[in-house]
Structure 1
Amino acid sequence: MPVKIGEMRNAGPYYGKTLDELGEMEWRPEEERLIERYCEKIHKNISQEEMTPMERFKATCEGTKRDRLFVEAYFYSTYTMRIFDAFAGAVKAIDAYFYPQLMILSHLACVARFNPDNLHIGGISYGENIFGASAMMIEDGSPVFLMPMPIKTIEDMDGLEAPDPTKHGLFPQLLWTLREVRRIFDKYELSGKLPIEAECCGSAEHLAMHAMLGYEEFIRAMRNNPDLIKATIKLGTDFLISLGKALFEIGKVDMADLPENTGMFPAKGYEWVAGEFARLGKAVKAVANPAPFVHGMVFDKCYEWLQVFWDAGALGPDSFDAVIVAGIENYERAINFCKEHDMRIGSSPVAELSVKGPASAIEEDYKKRCSILKNAKKGYVGVGPIDYWTPPEFMDVTIKAAKKYGKF
């Protein structure tokens, strides 16, 4: 039982194809025109500032002088397709999951429209069916897993191997998308001007919760069956190493981020989890270097993990060498830690801020956040993850506020 892939209901026409089988999809002339126009607009946006986003990105990584904070926006197809659709409510996120070319067009449209410092391809799958669970694609989100979960005992793990991201699930489509974006950036001379970023699925403990055991069983097993928890997290790490390497080797991204769930449980007693993060971080960074590999922290209790990660080698120049804390109240603690350890550090507010506003609240948050981040030698400011319900006018306010208050 080397690899066990579950059913994917409501799958699109390219699902199940390997990266090799996807090959080179042809663009129609009218689609090529859209790409050309979007790239022209991105170039125009870049020309209106003192530094290019790539210059700003590299200066941030090196901790050298720059005009303002790097503004890193986290776009997902759930939002990019709404912009591409002009909020008509006709075209759905699932259409981007069905047709990778639509995903590319919608992301280019968002970058041209809102002018962030990166093009971010968010996750299109969090491993829902790649360890044996059944899953289903839905109209306005990532696939959802279906009960029952595939793993209940340690015996269910016998002989189970990590899937291949070039062959299994939605990951061949993700890699094709990234590779094609790089080709487009090369063709239209954006590769040296705007960084491409990809999300590396979810962390190993997230895969164990989300795709192997289920959340309730994971929490129970933490206390009653630690060997099962260790086996699932190890298997998840094995997969993420393959995926992380592929993002850089095949997708040719300039950076990758890994959203993780360690704040859901305490560090004390589970320090060994940091060892798996270190195994992942070091394996991917060896391929990515000098491109950043970013810890994405989204729970307040993540703070107690920072020193544990550092001690285990899961943070540092040869591992995860950057941190983004998203939607966390006491974000200054993470900023101070990364300042002390000479790491790249970013912070973004809760997504709800850009959904509900008002504009004055968005401005107030970014004024304070940017002031703190500018005191970090390698600080940058995040936008998102961007919520499905975010009005375009508040998205404009958010990006502009991040740039305004990020100026040195």
Structure 2
Amino acid sequence: MNYILFDGPRRNHLLPFTFTRPVAEIRVGIMTLRERWEAYLKTSFSSLTEAYLSVKFPTNLLEDNIFIDASILPTNELIAAINSLECNEVLVKGPLVIAYRAQLPKSSQQLLDFAKIEFKEDFHQINNTWDIFDKNADILQNDFDFLTEGRTSQPISKTNHLIHPERIFLEEGAKVEFSILNATDGPIYLGKHSEIWEGSLIRGGLALCDHAIVKMGGKLYGATTIGPFSKVCGEISNSVIFGYSSKGHEGYLGNAVLGEWCNIGADSNNSNLKNNYAKVRLWDYATERFEQTGLQFCGLMMGDHSKTAINTMFNTGTVIGVNSNIYVPGFPRNFIPSFSWGGASGFTSYSPEKAFDAAKVMMARRGVEFNQIEADILTHVFEITKKWRNY
């Protein structure tokens, strides 16, 4: 069977992260949404996404295909129901289209002619940006159980102090020395060739993905995911970093999500709790207004390639788009459009040419080429986000 993950109706609610990737490439827990489906079904998936993203993320269409909403996470019961679909059948839960089987992609209107199969079991779904950190604890635990079942961790150095070592798992090449690892409140997973340097304090859940690094004295807790090839230090709580990003110095990051190729300057901090303890509102690109998250703790959402200078401060519930550069003292406003340059005293437009020069250098440091495909995607993002920049 050929499986395709489609972006679905939640795509615009997941901006700015889906400006530069399909919904399927969002990371939560240990894996991306696509990687999780591939692990469960032991086969490859492609994505059905926006046209400007499809050169980098092409759709593999065959004669017979199953299309699955990429914002939904697999369960064994859900997989069984999906694999039982016949051609021109759609699996639903109330008004939500979970999956359908067809030769070609179908619109919501066209799916009305399909035979409807109702699914009654529960599953996780990433509906909004804040779900990425808010649901991270449960999803990380599920991923840990799935990935480590029947396997033995690599040996853990005796220089460390371990609490509940049975819930700590090191993949091949992972290293940790002279640190405290406490898995009481959640598992600790170290991906291949990841490293935790000396003097770090780790309280699970933690997913430190392949080749990621926690520098000396890092303090990580509260169901945090550090994506591949990222480097972090300072204090990080209940946050998700997709990959290839750096928060390499002191400063606080809490209840936050960072995309790829982000850099947080030394001693930068985000607030994750309002002084009056009120529930946090967050900018939603789909409705173009600040929406109630229902959460008391909600910090920073930062799209790909955005960066901060040293000592940058962010208000509770701040959303930053793609390729923005924030500096100068004070708190900038809590919605910063893509390709913005400035801070609390005001912003100017950040030209794609200058942004691309920085991206080439940063990506080369990780051995990744900034090519024309990346440039075309970011140029398109620059154009479609102009309406939010009044400078």
Q: TM-score, normalised by structure 1?
A: 0.24
Q: Could you say which structure has the higher helix fraction?
A: 1
Q: TM-score, normalised by structure 2?
A: 0.25
Q: Could you say which structure has the higher strand fraction?
A: 2
